[in-house]
Amino acid sequence: MLRVLVADDQDLFRAGFGLILGSQPDMEVVGEAADGESAVAAAVELRPDVVVMDVRMPGMNGIEATRLICAATTAKVLVLTMFDLDEYVYDAVRAGASGFLLKDIRRDELAGAVRTIAAGDSLLSPAATRRLLEDLVRRPSHDVAPRLAARLGELTDRERETLRLVARGLSNAEIATELVVTEHTVKTHVSRMLTKLALRDRVQAVAFAYESGLVVAGGSDIGDHAHD
């Protein structure tokens, strides 16, 4: 049974999300919060598997709440907002969120997103993914890339290749086909890559790949010998 905490300052959204998720046979809504500070306190006390987090809330916003929750608990955070703005996507990912979706998703998509995140995968809407990558490309990286690139030395060649393919948005099955290995082997590579780089999930791996310079924007040029 997945334990879910819903944080939103609007009563209707909070109640609606709670009703949708609470009606799922594999989910239990263990708590609700109307602001960021309450969300952090509830996450620490209730230890949910997933926190559904609004961005704009009074006092502490959802981004800062996400940062604190990810630092203090093992909960995965799914950020939901009505505002598809660049800084929200980037800041949510940097804060540790495992997913970012707009509030206009269907009820089955919401439940599916919670399951995806709870299973250890990551989730970004196509629009959010595009904006995240565009934002990473725009940001100055002269002081970031060398420091992050040094950490790539901890990876084996196959783990680096796996990171490149993850950054392209490929699933484990697609990566297995690309590398001509089993899906189980891909899962092992992904797990080791995340552990060595101290990353929470695939969303952060995508951000790391771009920030470190391993992957560059523009067409199919995603790194040296990406398809060799």
Judge residue 173's burial from the number of C-beta atoms within 10 Å of its C-beta, 0-12 exposed, 13-18 middle, 19 or more buried. Answer: exposed
Give the lowest-confidence range in 93-102, 157-166, 185-194, 218-227.
218-227
> Is the separation of the CB atoms in 223 and 156 below 8 Å?
no
How confident is the prediction for the chain on average, in pLDDT? 84
Predicted confidence at residue 2, as pLDDT, reads: 96
CB 31 within 8 A of CB 49: no
Partnered with residue 101 across adjacent β-strands are 80
- pLDDT tens by residue, 11-36: 999 999 999 999 999 999 999 999 99
CB of 115 within 8 A of CB of 2?
yes
The pLDDT score that the predictor gives to residue 46 is 97
* 44 compared with 140, residue with greater pLDDT: 44
Identify the DSSP state of 24: S
**Where is average pLDDT lowest: 77-86, 101-110, 188-197?**
77-86
Per-residue confidence (pLDDT) for residue 136, from 0 to 100 = 62
**Residue bearing the bigger pLDDT, 153 or 226:** 153
Q: Dump pLDDT digits (tens) for 37-68.
A: 999 999 999 999 999 999 989 899 999 999 99
Q: What's the CA gap between 207 and 132, in Å, rounded?
A: 8
Model pLDDT for residues 116-125, shown as the tens digit of each residue? 889 877 676 6
Check residue 217 and give its pLDDT: 64
Using one digit for the tens of pLDDT, what is the confidence trace for 196-218? 998 888 878 887 887 788 887 65
DSSP tag of 227: T
**Confidence grade of residue 131 (pLDDT, cut at 50, 70, 90):** low
Complete DSSP assignment for 62-106:
HHHHHHHHHHH---EEEEEES---HHHHHHHHHHT-SEEEETTS-
- Rounded to whole angstroms, the Cα distance separating 1 from 62 reads 25
Give the residue among 190, 189, 184 at the shortest CA–CA distance from 205: 190
